């Protein structure tokens, strides 16, 4: 199965603000994640996160060095919600309570 991949509108500027070398790792990872979204790959690791209270979906994180992105798998779509530098990145996740939208 091949998954579609989307990035929340609010997360697109965050992605574009990443250093070019970090963005390249994420972009290469996006191609792999369309086939195996929950597997780590070259230069990045995927881990399951504790979802914010009230969320019904499993939440996952992609680590590239000190940078993080979180995503959910919604049927046949991988939906990225945010990108950013750690520390403080996970507070962004806990502030979001609604389902992801494009």
Q: Is 66 exposed, middle or buried (0-12, 13-18, 19+ CB in 10 A)?
A: exposed
101 lies in some domain: no
102 lies in some domain: no
Q: Is 26 exposed, middle or buried (0-12, 13-18, 19+ CB in 10 A)?
A: buried
Residue 78 belongs to domain with CATH number: 3.30.2310.20
Report DSSP state, residue 39: S
How does the average pLDDT of the chain come out, rounded?
A: 88
21 lies in some domain: yes
Instruction: Please give the average per-residue pLDDT across 80-88, as a whole number.
Output: 89
What integer pLDDT is reported at residue 53 of this predicted model? 72
User: For 24-69, how does the pLDDT look when each residue is reduced to its tens digit (9 = 90+)?
Assistant: 999 999 999 999 999 999 999 999 988 777 777 888 999 999 999 9
């Amino acid at each position: 199965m091949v998954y579609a991949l989307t990035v929340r509108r609010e997360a697109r500027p965050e992605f574009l603000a990443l250093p070019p070398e970090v963005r390249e790792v994420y972009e290469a990872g996006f191609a792999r994640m369309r086939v195996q979204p929950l597997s780590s790959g070259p230069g990045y690791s995927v881990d399951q996160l504790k979802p914010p209270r009230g969320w019904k979906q499993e939440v996952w994180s992609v680590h590239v060095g000190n940078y993080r992105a979180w995503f959910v798998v919604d049927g046949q779509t991988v939906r990225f919600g945010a990108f950013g530098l750690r520390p403080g990145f996970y507070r962004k996740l806990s502030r979001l309570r609604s389902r992801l939208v494009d």
